[in-house]
Chain A
């Protein structure tokens, strides 16, 4: 032990007190020398002769002093330092090479680090819930479409809860949105997102409120709604100023007074980042028999149960249920996912696509830098031979070369770290699909920085090893001729590989961009520019009375608040600057509306069809600038008292009455008593129900004033809500405030919500796709550029090597055409090899990104052809300068030099 400490002290001293130790060594040898001299003088020799003898006796002092230094065992460190300094000088001498190498490495390392950072966060990041690894989400899926992810129905949940032995507890939750009324603390009315939850959910999550309590078991009974609410810390602070007396207060919630019974700790927003309040989930009778799968079920695994075991047990329960109650459970499977998977599973595909692209770029960058270094090293042959002659060992030469590679990769890594920060910010902004979680805050933590370091060392080795080995070989000048040929072949292979990899990337990005263009270019038949959109809603309780159920859905008496909606509509039309105003029961695009409304078509067999269904005010089509193909719009003359009418879209017209004129045809909604037959008075162009939809669905538009008084179905809320669209002159957002005031004049307790300017490209889904396509595109262009540099390098080198041959050929009468053929054949072979490699790789790999494509197949021939042409042209351009150099070879000069 003491010896180890002593050795350590020695080593440290050798590193940090090198100069002093060298001085001591010098002094020690000088002492010895002095003794030798004095000894000679004592034996009677003259001083000059004595010194000469002593010097002879001492021998090669410099050599054994070096041997003494070698004993310190830290020589490699000093050597390494010198290698680095020398390497830095070499890099400075070739700034172009250094810049290309560092930039491509920085891009590769930076992007790689960012993506791995995100993966790290997704896989290992903290979930702010106690023992989160035991939390699972239980979902269902139709057996005939296992990719689909559905939540659970109430019968599912209740049966699971009763029968399972795998979970400590299960809890269910249901998305909710509600309006908080203007508060005495001064906060104005606003709509927030929250959750209906079973009282057991908080037990499952293991989170305690910081104030008050959560729900008692009897607050979640059947048909036992109690007006108690739990708030998030965020809302408590923001809306209620952190009022410590909040538990004694009632808050205006959905137009009623509710008691706040608890406040959750900061940062608790289960299950979504937007969840700001929790209400007891009270199942009503119809839900108990319903098969609607809206409820998210969260469970906590018992300590000794794995997800796999739970999955097996749940499958057994599901198949038993399907047998016993086929009408509720038949045809549905069950899936147990970890909470982490449920939240972050969606990132897998995009991250994998990006990582794949980055790996390709990294490989190209490595191959590229390797070829550049090989080329430079062949210019340093004389240097290596000289080093060998001076006694440098093989290891020493390799170490020198690796130090240079490491220096390059370290520079690349440092620059990559900066890029990684940007990359992380971009990844953070990825939009999560409904029901999943955002990636969350990504930052450069020690793990990410460690990854960067590892990445750059790895790349340094990858591109450094080939040149180092070649460098080792070229120590012997005599063997150089054969080594050169071999190296040239290695470079050819490396460059062909670069072309192949670049082509694979180009195909990938081409497909993504092609699919994005399809997505954006789809005709949506409306003009979103200049439209302000916002939602208004009156809570469903105020106009709906349950009257039993029909076809498994709750049936209700409706007394729609049409008067309020009408007054708001009329008021908005008076706003100065509003060109046109309209409302629809749901946002016309990207709402949850699906074509599921049953419709009876009069005089047609079969007479039943289904369509999406909107209640609208007059002027909807004028406001959206959606062309009417035939007939007329719903007008202000269409009221409850006049004959009921409908407008259909083109798809509905084509499907319902193929080959016939739809105008004048009649349809009836499959509703309860009070529904009347409606005459089709107009046909509008298709507006897609969702931006991401490639196909069109049939849609029926009817007036919000022509409605029955009894309704069944799960979209009863459409009677009390309206998405208003205001087409305004100038910036529509400036309109938001006056629109808000106008609504407040009529309904002070109810805010307008989801205020936004409509977007041509349909929000986050398309934007994310676009960003991803652009990022992969940038990678692909970088790769192409690198490959072109590689082609240039290898061709330029080849021309330089063959300058003599070319000169002789010219002297013997070969024409420019012949020389061009000579050089061109080599270039074409190189490019063709790369292209074949790339096409094969792309055809094999692109299946993997099929799910990221939209309206384009993974083997889309147009894309393949286009990017192949692009790459070939770029690669050929890279050959122009070497070719011109070849043509300019002066035969006279060649002959003179021979």
Chain B
């Protein structure tokens, strides 16, 4: 199982944005969702997740508010902003280009 630091630079941002595109989540849920959706292949460490969330928040792609949760205490819940959606589209584009390029290389080399 690759460590998050092995993820390509910027990939974590893409994963978080994509995860949040379905609806608002708190940090714990974001980590869980990434793990589930990747069939436990990707596991995001807290040490990377939270700085990334804060960076995205500071950059205005996501916004946060405190909400009550089913666990009986309130949590900081992140959601995508309109600009964040556009940013996600851009990053998906980039990713598609990058992965197809990598694919090509692996086939031809």
A binding-site residues for B, Cβ under 8 Å: 2-4, 6-7, 10-11, 14, 24-25, 27-29, 31-32, 34-35, 38, 57-61, 63-65, 67-73
CB pair A28 B83 closer than 8 Å: no
B95 at the interface (CB under 8 A from A): no
Which one of A24, A28, A34 lies within 8 Å of B71 (CB-CB)? A34
Is B47 a contact of A63 with CB atoms below 8 Å? yes
A60 touches B47 (CB 8 A): yes
The reply to whether A59 and B45 form a contact with Cβ atoms under 8 Å apart is yes
Residue contact B75 to A31, C-beta cutoff 8 Å? yes
In the assembled complex, the Cα of A11 lies from the Cα of B59 at a distance in Å of 10
Given contacts A64-B46, A68-B51, contact A6 B63 (CB under 8 A): yes
Instruction: For the complex, give the distance between the alpha carbons of A29 and B45 in Å.
Output: 12
Contact of B81 among A6, A58, A59, A70 (CB under 8 A): A6
- Given the known inter-chain contacts A59-B46, A68-B50, please indicate yes or no for A7 contacting B58, CB distance below 8 A: yes
Q: Which of A6, A34, A71 contacts B54 (CB 8 A)?
A: A71
Q: Are the C-beta atoms of B50 and A28 separated by less than 8 Å? A: yes
- Is B76's beta carbon under 8 Å from chain A? yes
Q: Are A34 and B73 CB-contacts (below 8 A) given A3-B83, A73-B58?
A: yes
Beta-carbon nearest neighbor of A28 in chain B = B76
Please encode chain B, from 26 to 53, with 1 for each CB lying within 8 Å of some chain A CB and 0 for all others: 1110000000000000000111101101
Taking CB atoms and an 8 Å cut-off, the chain B residues in 40-88 that contact chain A are 45-48, 50-51, 53-55, 57-60, 63, 66, 71, 73, 75-76, 81-83
Q: Interface size class for chain B?
A: 20 to 34
Which chain B residues lie closer than 8 Å to A27 at the CB level? Answer: 76
Contact of A72 (CB < 8 Å), options: B53, B54, B75, B76: B54
A-B contact pairs, 9 of them (CB 8 A): A3-B81, A7-B59, A27-B76, A32-B46, A35-B71, A68-B53, A70-B51, A71-B51, A71-B58
Bound form: Cα–Cα A69–B51 in Å: 8
Q: Which 9 A/B pairs are nearest by Cβ-Cβ distance?
A: A3-B60, A71-B54, A64-B47, A67-B51, A6-B60, A71-B55, A68-B54, A3-B83, A35-B28
A73–B59 alpha-carbon span in the complex (Å): 10
A31-B73, A71-B54 known, 5 other contacts, Cβ within 8 Å: A31-B27, A57-B46, A60-B47, A64-B46, A67-B50
In the bound complex, what is the Cα–Cα distance between A63 and B45 (angstroms)? Answer: 13
| Distance between Cα atoms of A145 and B32 in the complex (Å) | 94
Residues of A within 8 A of B71 (CB): 34-35, 38
Residue of A nearest to B57 (CB): A10
| Bound-complex Cα distance A71 to B52 (A) | 8
Per DSSP, chain A at the interface is helix
The residues of A that contact B27 with a CB separation of less than 8 Å are 28, 31-32
List B contacts of A71 (CB < 8 A).
51, 54-55, 57-58
Given contacts A32-B28, A71-B58, contact A58 B46 (CB under 8 A): yes
In the assembled complex, the Cα of A373 lies from the Cα of B57 at a distance in Å of 42
For residue B47, which residues in chain A have a CB less than 8 angstroms away from its CB? Answer: 59-60, 63-64, 67
Residues of B with C-beta under 8 A to A7: 58-60
Bound complex: CA of A38 vs CA of B69, how far in Å? Answer: 14
Which residue on chain A has the smallest CB distance to residue B46? Answer: A58
- In the assembled complex, the CB of A620 is this many whole angstroms from the nearest CB of chain B, namely 89
Q: Which residue of A lies closest to B59 (CB)?
A: A7
In the bound assembly, the distance between CA atoms of A534 and B73 in angstroms comes to: 95
Q: Distance in Å from the Cβ of B49 to the closest Cβ of chain A?
A: 9
Q: Closest chain B residue to A6 by CB distance? A: B60
Task: List, in ascending order, chain B residues with CB within 8 A of A65's CB.
Answer: 50
**Selected contact of A31 from candidates B26, B45, B53, CB within 8 Å:** B26
Max count, chain A CB within 10 A of own CB: residue among B47, B54, B60, B81: B54
Say which residue of A4, A10, A24 sits within 8 Å of B76 (CB atoms). A24
Please indicate the chain A residues that have their CB under 8 angstroms from the CB of B60 in the complex: 3-4, 6-7, 10
A31 shortest CB reach to chain B, Å: 5
Distance (Å) between the CB of B29 and the closest chain A CB? 9
Check A29–B28 contact: CB distance below 8 A: no
Chain B residues positioned under 8 Å from A69 (CB to CB): 54
Question: Separation in Å of the A386 CB from the closest CB of chain B?
Answer: 26
CB of B46 within 8 A of CB of A31, answer no
Q: Determine the residue in chain A with the shortest Cβ distance to B55.
A: A71
Asked whether, in the complex, the Cβ of B58 is within 8 Å of the Cβ of A29, the reply is: no
Bound Cα distance A779, B66 (Å)? 63
Smallest CB separation, B55 vs chain A (Å): 4
B5-31 near A? 1/0 per residue, CB < 8 Å: 000000000000000000000111000
User: Within the assembled complex, what's the spacing in Å between the Cα atoms of A70 and B51?
Assistant: 8
Contact residues in B for A68 (Cβ distance below 8 Å): 50-51, 53-54
Contacts of B51 in A (CB 8 A): 64, 67-68, 70-71
Q: Bound complex: CA of A590 vs CA of B47, how far in Å?
A: 87
- Write out the residue numbers on chain A whose beta carbons fall within 8 Å of the beta carbon of B53: 68
Q: How far is the CB of B77 from chain A (nearest CB, A)?
A: 10
Closest A residue, CB atoms, query B28: A35
Considering only CB atoms, which chain A residue lies closest to B72 in the complex? A34
CA of A69 to CA of B50 in the docked complex: distance in angstroms?
A: 10
Residues of the A chain whose Cβ atoms lie less than 8 Å from the Cβ of B45: 59
Chain A residue at smallest Cβ distance from B48: A64
List chain B residues, Cβ under 8 A from A72. 54, 58
Least Cβ distance of A630 to chain B in Å? 98
CB of B63, distance to nearest CB on chain A (Å) = 7
Cα A562 to Cα B45 in complex, Å, equals: 112
Nearest-CB distance from A35 to chain B (Å)?
A: 5
Chain B contacts of A4 at CB under 8 A?
60
What separation, in Å, do the CA atoms of A24 and B53 have in the docked complex?
13
Provide the residues of chain A in CB contact with B57, threshold 8 Å. 10, 71
Report how far A10 CA is from B50 CA in the complex, Å: 16
Residue of B whose beta carbon sits closest to that of A9: B60
Q: Is the CB of B75 within 8 A of A28?
A: yes
CA distance A70 to B58 in the complex (A): 10
B residues near A28, Cβ cutoff 8 Å: 26-27, 50, 75-76
The distance in angstroms between the C-alpha atoms of A24 and B75, with both chains bound, is: 9
Q: Give A72 to B60 CA distance when docked, in angstroms.
A: 11
Report the minimum CB–CB distance from A34 to chain B (whole Å): 7
CB distance from B93 to the nearest CB of A (A): 19
Instruction: Give complex CA distance A637, B42 in Å.
Output: 126
Q: B82 contacts which chain A residues (CB < 8 A)?
A: 2
Q: Cβ of A58: which chain B residues have Cβ within 8 Å of it?
A: 46
